[in-house]
Every structure is written in C-alpha cells, then in structure tokens.
Chain A
C-alpha cells in the first residue's frame, strides 16, 4: 500500500449526497472486466450506453481529468461493501475524498488502500467545492503529518484523525502483518473462549 503523507493536486467538485458504491463502481464492470479499476470509475455516469465519455460528467472535463481529490456530498460511499469502489478511485488517481460524512464500510475500506477519506464540516466542504469550481484554481494540498488542508485561496482547514487511522496511512502499512504478530493473543483468546463457548469451535 502506498504511503500517504502530503498530497497536492487537482480537486474535482461532485457535490451530490449519498453517492453509492454501485455508482462509483458498477457491478457489471467488476464481473466482466475485473481489472483496470480506474476505467470502471463512475462507469454509468462517465460514459453513455455506447461507451463514449460524456462531457457533462465532471471527471471528463479537461481540467479535472488528472484529479487527485474528489469533493463530495454527505454519506459518500453508501450501499454495497464492494472494495472495488475504493480501487476504482485509486486506480483513476484519486487519493483523497473530502466529504461531510462517509458510509462506515467505505470509510474503513479506504484506509486499507491508501485513500484518505477526509471528513470536514459541510460548510467547509461546500466552500472548497465552490473554490475548486472556479477557473484556474483547482489545486488542494493535504498534509497528514500536520492534519491540515490548504485550499486554492490559501485558507487552511485543520482536521482531526485518530492515530489508529492516521499512522497506518502515513506508514503505508495494512493490518494483516500487525495482527499476525499478535498470534499468541489470538491463541490465548481461543483457548479461553473454547471453554466458555465450546459450540463455536468446530473440530478441524
């Protein structure tokens, strides 16, 4: 997993509420293509039925084609648990989604793939969306070391993030290695639990 420390790049405004993971990554793309996740991103919104890019969609507009940020509405990533939604954003080049809130499953999935889901108050998100919609001023910088975001007009937003989320993102590590190192704890839990709830443990 790539480290996430400091990111500067173009931000695309997509201020819809409840953008769901079916929209972010359509089922058909997952099954039929199963790779090149970035091309599947917002497949049904970006392209018409003949597969042609629609200019009306924000990420198809020339100045947003290289977006590294997406600025979105409330409850981003609701619906299905499909991690392909995160892979699609990362595959396209987006490393940070800024929204007033995220669905719980999407939020967890994002951190496991080096995608930073940044929660800011709705008025801040709306202001940032308006700023990056203005011509020639589309770049944001986020600094995860110092928990701050710099907007195109030079204003700074501070944010808070638990170290249990922030540090793995900074270090680019996932949970599997760390948990495997805790095998003795898991063994001990299962030994004790097997006496208390023997019906849970089927013989191998």
Chain B
C-alpha cells in the first residue's frame, strides 16, 4: 500500500468511507429538513396511468404545474389489455385512467409512450431499456417495483400518489435516510437455477420484512456474473424483502447494456457520465448496518407454497408443517396460507396440478426470460386443460422475440402470445385467474386474491413455469432435457 493510499484510509485525514448508496444519496440532497428528513432531488420520474390519475387531479386542484416535465416519462401498462386486439378486459372500465393519462401527458408536455408506440412497455422494463434510468440517478415511480431500476446502480424507489404529486410539483422527494444492508452472493448458480430462484431463496431465508428500513446492496461474484436482465429481476423483488430500494454497483455489464440506448447520453456526454459513474463505486472501507452472505451453490429452483413471497421452498421439497413452527403468530399465518392455497403440510410440491401458467410481469418478462422459456417449450406441448400465456415486458421485447421466432415456438407449444403490459400480475386490466384456480407465475406476489378473488399463485422462474405448463403440474425443471 502506498503512503497516499494509506493516508486516504485514515479517517482523520479523509471523509468517512461511503457506500454506493451513500454517494448517490449525498449527491442528491437539496436540503436537510431536520429530525432525520431530507429533501432529495429526483432525476427521473416515471409515470403510469393508475397512480398518476389522482396525483394530477390534486395538482390541478391546487393550480400547480410540473416543475420539470422533461425529467418525467409516462407510459400505459397497468390497465391496457394485452390480448391480441388490446380490447378485452377491464381496460374498457378503466378507460377513464387511460383517457386522463393521455390528457395529462398532453396538457403538461410529458414524453409519453402510448399503446401503439414502439417504446411502450411495463414501466420498470422500459426505464432501463430506453436508457431513461442511468447509474447514479434517483428515479421514482408510483409503483413499489420501481426498485427494479437499482440494478443499473440507480437509487430507485416506489412512492404513493401524494409523493407523485410532490415530485410533479417540485422534482424532489422528502425522505428519511434508510440504513444500509449488503447481501453478498458467493458461488455459482446451478443448472437451470436463475436470478429468480436466487431472490426467492433470499426472501425465503431472510423473510418478507428483513429489508424494512434498509436500502439493499446486492454484491458478490454471483451478481457480477449475471447479465442485466437477471440483475433487474433481483432488484425488482427487493420490495418483497421489505426494502424500498435495492441496488447493485454499475460495472462493464451495465455500461455495455446502456451504451447507445435512446435516452442515454451520447458522445462526449457519455464519456463524462462514465467518468462520474466510476466515482460511485463504494469505498472498500465503507461499512453497512447489516451484512448477509448467501452461498449460491445451495440454491435449487424455488417455488412458493403459501401466500407470502417468503413462503418458498426448493421445488423438490415438502410443504412445511405449521405444527413445527415455534412462533405462534407465524404458525397462524402458515395455517391460513395453507388453507387458502389448498395444500397439506408435508405434501410434495412436485405433482401439484396447475390451471394457469403465466410468464410476464416486471420481474420476468425480458428478452432473456422469454428466450430461456422458449428453449424449454420448443417441440413440447402445454398440457391439456392448462391455460398458458406469455406477456412480453415491452413492445420492443415482443418485436425482438418475434424476429427471432420465439412467438412461433410458444404458439406451436400452445401458449397464448400477448401484447406487453402488467396483465395477470396485478390484474388491473381484468386478466385474472378464476376463483379456486391454481396459477404458476413468474410475477412477484402470491398474496391471497392478488390474481383475482380466490386465485392461488405459485411464484417461480420462467423455466419452472414452462416445466409446469408442459407437465400440467409443478415440476422440477432440472429433469427436463434440452
């Protein structure tokens, strides 16, 4: 170690070492409001048709306008129908949301991507895809899965409608500084074990409230080895661990992914952005309030058995027995979950019959998700009685998949091929799982009634969903050849 490096490490002669999160936070503080509250600048505000409606109404009632419409980007995703004619479902009922969204975008001069725009897609899929989201930026959206965007090294978090209004009017957000938690992933993911399995396993181990009050930083060799799509899947489910935001250090994978995307800086601006992004790396001596290490070699394909994302087991495992649970409150939750989902303690998950197989949502609808799913579906058939559907995360992903012939593979196998949107994850467009029916889904939430009243949801990776669709029951994807 040189003298200079040594001197830089000494706390007396240098500022305290900071994490990636600390650096982004510090670079966005507009004012310290006291008692732990700060006013932060918002670099990018993503707007969709549901949570923005009431925010714009209140903005108009107060006679306010947008402070920075050019830092605001809008898309329709939640209510739009994804069926081939885009006309079925609740989007007729929800039409007022889409109409209001169009009027608000026009009146306030917001860059927006409507239903027929090539750039339309699920808000958390298009923000990275179009290069709207950048490393080191703050990005917010009235949607909890905004955390996805942390995969690019951004500080991104979901907000409520009141905060949407606040950001529209002031381009800032009032925030209390969260604590910092690091999760380091060592080892390598096994055959047909994906980023989705990694994050489901983590939530199962740590619990759905483990990240409450924290910003998560994911690191370690297994994260560095992942392509951007997988990283987005992991950060997406930070909220399912209770954390508003989760992020990853930007690296060559990030820069290669972003370079040339529509809203990314170009030329000299790219070079100066890159130089700035390199300064964001967490200091080696920076400390975290909590640290967790996870060995990826232990992770198997994960499937949820209950009604919380923490209710997960390896697909070859057995449904846990509430009687063996020592915490009475937890035991009660487990009993309720099993009664709702219709499974017995000690049962095998493998072989549980399914009615619906859903590939989509901001968690798992990107090109590589569809590609991996198609590889497995190729030359096979969806089991009789199973409704299987693929809903691409964006119109561009849909086009790219069609150019590669993936749509043909899916259709030949008996999958429905849809337009892009949130679809059966949030069901705001009326695409629901019927009461009592069992769905295996690549989405992020398996709450009671989430996919429609009485619906039963099992969370899994795209590959595991294809394996179940073909088998007609939950299956171990590792036993599939080819």
Contact = CB atoms under 8 A, between A and B. Distances in A.
A180 B213 contact: no
A108 B163 contact: yes
B428 A27 contact: yes
A80 B144 contact: yes
Interface string A98-139: 000101110011001100000000000000000000000000
A17 interface: yes
B188 interface: no
Given A31-B90, A81-B160, A83-B160, A182 B447 contact: no
Interface residues of A, number: 60
B447 A20 contact: yes
A105 B244 contact: yes
B160 A176 contact: no
A10 to B, nearest CB: 23
B159 A22 contact: no
Contacts of B171: 186, 190
A89 to B, nearest CB: 13
B70 A18 contact: no
Given A23-B448, A79-B445, A197-B276, A108 B160 contact: yes
Given A163-B34, A186-B30, A186-B172, A176 B165 contact: yes
B330 interface: yes
B428 A26 contact: no
Contact of A204 (B39, B51, B69, B447): B69
Interface of A: 15-18, 20, 22-23, 26-28, 30-32, 34, 44, 49, 73-75, 78-84, 86, 101, 103-105, 108-109, 112-113, 162-165, 174-176, 179-180, 182-183, 185-186, 189-190, 193, 196-204
Nearest to B308: A18
Interface string B57-74: 000001010011111000
A32 B93 contact: yes
A175 to B, nearest CB: 5
Contacts of A196: 27, 276
A199 B144 CA distance: 26
Contacts of A23: 447-449
A31 B93 contact: yes
Given A17-B333, A164-B36, A22 B209 contact: no
Contact of A164 (B93, B109, B176, B213): B176
A28 B160 CA distance: 18
Interface in B68-99: 68-71, 79, 90, 93-94, 96-97
16 contacts: A22-B445, A22-B449, A27-B427, A31-B50, A75-B208, A81-B143, A81-B160, A82-B51, A83-B51, A105-B144, A108-B159, A112-B162, A165-B35, A174-B166, A176-B170, A197-B136
Nearest to B35: A164
A182 B160 contact: no
A57 B159 CA distance: 30
Interface in B308-346: 308, 329-330, 332-333, 336
B162 A78 contact: no
B170 A18 contact: no
Interface stretch (B249-257, B265-273, B289-297, B389-397): B265-273
Contacts of A101: 209, 212
B373 interface: no
B30 A27 contact: no
A144 to B, nearest CB: 15
